[in-house]
Amino acid sequence: MYATDKMQHCENRFTLSKDTDTQECGHAMADFLREPGQMVVLQMIGPDACAKAVRAAAYLRQQYKIELDLYFTTAPEGVVAYDKGAAEEIWIGLEVAEGPPPFTALIDFEISSKTFPDKLAWAIASHLFRGESMRLTGIGPRSIIKMVTAVGIAAKWCRGAYHYALLCHPLP
């Protein structure tokens, strides 16, 4: 799915790179994420930058006690990535949640540095197509990159099949 209308018209958009400092990014976004419905959009290319975005969201949740909905999409149709030679640009919308995540049951996946992102993406998409929710847990930067890569692949599959953004909630 391409970025939603709300994401496209969001005034608070930032570009992340693999060198972005997670805590500085979290502090910078915190002022824009105070009330339910407020949004910040992060634009990036590649799994390293995407992992930084997920870490920044986790940092916001821990340090500022902000409950967030994360929307993983690609750039709007016709938008050229800021790095023209790179792969498709990823957009993540961080929106202050209206309430707690609507999960009744979670299927737990433990991710390691040896997890294959394409197989994990298939599992994520399969459970989503059945209306099931999952919790992905892992320790360390390699597992985060594996998770983010898999979520990105699953988001593309969901976009192609059902035309919706992949919604993620950072959980404790």
**68-87: per-residue pLDDT in tens?**
888 877 777 776 655 555 55
Structure-token pair, residue 25 = 């990014």
Q: How confident is the model at residue 26 (pLDDT cuts 50, 70, 90)?
A: very high
The residues, any chain, with a CB within 8 Å of residue 169's CB and separated by 6 or more, are 67, 68, 69, 70, 97, 101, 103
- The Cα–Cα gap between 39 and 69 comes to 9
**Dihedral sign from CA coordinates of 121, 124, 128, 133:** negative
Looking at the DSSP assignment, which residues form a beta bridge with residue 44?
Answer: 90
- 18-44 average pLDDT score: 93
Q: What is the pLDDT of residues 39-68, one digit of tens each?
A: 999 998 877 888 888 889 989 989 998 888
Q: Which CATH number fits domain 5-168: 3.40.50.300, 3.90.230.10, 3.40.50.1220, 3.30.110.20?
A: 3.30.110.20
For the chain, domain boundaries: 5-168
